[in-house]
Amino acid sequence: MSEPSTIEKTPESDAMPATRPLKALLAAGLLAGLIAWLGGEASRDLFQPRKRPVNAKGITLLVASPRQQEVAEERNAGLAFVWLGAALGGCLGLAGGLVRHDRRSALRASGFGLVAGTVACAAVSLALLPLYSSYRRGHPDEAARDVMYPLLVHAGIWSVAGAAGGAAFTLGLGRRKGIAQAALGGLVGAIAGTIAYELIGVVAFPNAATTQFVSSTWPTRLMARGAVALLAALGIAEAMKPPRAPAQRGSTIS
């Protein structure tokens, strides 16, 4: 009597319905956008500009210099963007592990995504926000009308949050070979979300200062976080689609 043959487990044999990762990505993207918005609202204006005493007609006033106001604005914006990176990386990493019903992988990928999103957004914010402040200081009239530079700054920072989310989601799924592909999908999706936010903001919310680091109204701030997180999730889902098998021609008998 021959021994029963064993089947080696392969990624193909461990396949899952295509809709499961998509649903998990969309749910995690929505949750990440909400967490990022709530965190940003809770810590808004956390950093205050340094003030120095100024004597005006015998009255001592505490006044912040324009540069100190810029520094406080940069720090508050950077903190808001760190919330986005942490939330997107953490939520998508968690979703990836839960899709395969592996809590340990979910926690590990969520931790990786949280750290990666935080560090990436903090680093890019430190690089780009002071540069834009310098441009705005030197060209105030241009900056007041300009849309492209703010879009590039937002896209540069928010896109790395999407990339961190893509890498974390793939790690949670246990598919290390697709990390770069998913990260690219998250990056492109986040850029698409940024463009959508900027265009909608300029047209539908002209008085909400959507071209500033952080807009002045809570609905537009929510729109920014939601658009970036949701389209980053869609970009990851699109990037992870398996390639279509080429159509096979039917054999002919001569």
Beta-strand ranges (E) seen in the chain are 51-56, 59-64
Asked if the structure places residue 252 within a domain, the reply is no
Helix (H) or strand (E) holding 119: helix 103-138
Please give the pLDDT value at position 20.
81
For the chain, the distance separating the N- and C-terminal CA atoms, rounded to the nearest angstrom, is 45
Backbone dihedral region of 228: left (phi > 0), alpha (psi from -120 to 50 degrees) or beta? alpha
Q: What is the pLDDT of residues 78-124, one digit of tens each?
A: 999 999 999 999 999 999 999 999 999 999 999 999 999 999 999 99
Question: In this model, does residue 251 exceed pLDDT 90?
Answer: no
Asked if the structure places residue 93 within a domain, the reply is yes
Please give the pLDDT value at position 239.
94
Smallest CA-to-CA distance from 83 within 49, 48, 125, 47 is with 125
In the structure encoding, which two tokens stand for residue 222, read together?
Answer: 């929510």
Question: In this model, does residue 3 exceed pLDDT 70?
Answer: no
> How far is the C-alpha of 84 from the C-alpha of 36, rounded, in Å?
5
Asked if the structure places residue 7 within a domain, the reply is no
Backbone dihedral region of 65: left (phi > 0), alpha (psi from -120 to 50 degrees) or beta? beta
Average pLDDT, the chain: 88
Q: What is the pLDDT of residues 183-221, one digit of tens each?
A: 999 999 999 999 999 999 999 999 999 999 999 999 999
Q: What is the pLDDT of residues 135-171, one digit of tens each?
A: 999 998 888 888 999 999 999 999 999 999 999 999 9
Q: How far is CA 14 from the centre of its chain?
A: 29
Asked if the structure places residue 21 within a domain, the reply is no
Q: Output the pTM of the full model.
A: 0.86
- Side-chain half-sphere exposure of 178, counting CA atoms within 13 A: 23
Asked if the structure places residue 5 within a domain, the reply is no
Tell me, what amino acid is at 186? G
Q: Give the structural domain span for 127.
A: 26-239
Question: In this model, does residue 51 exceed pLDDT 90?
Answer: no
| Residue 214 phi, psi (nearest 5) | -130, 130
Asked if the structure places residue 161 within a domain, the reply is yes
Tell me, what amino acid is at 244? R
Number of structural domains found in the chain: 1
| DSSP at 214 | S
CB atoms within 10 A of CB 66: 10
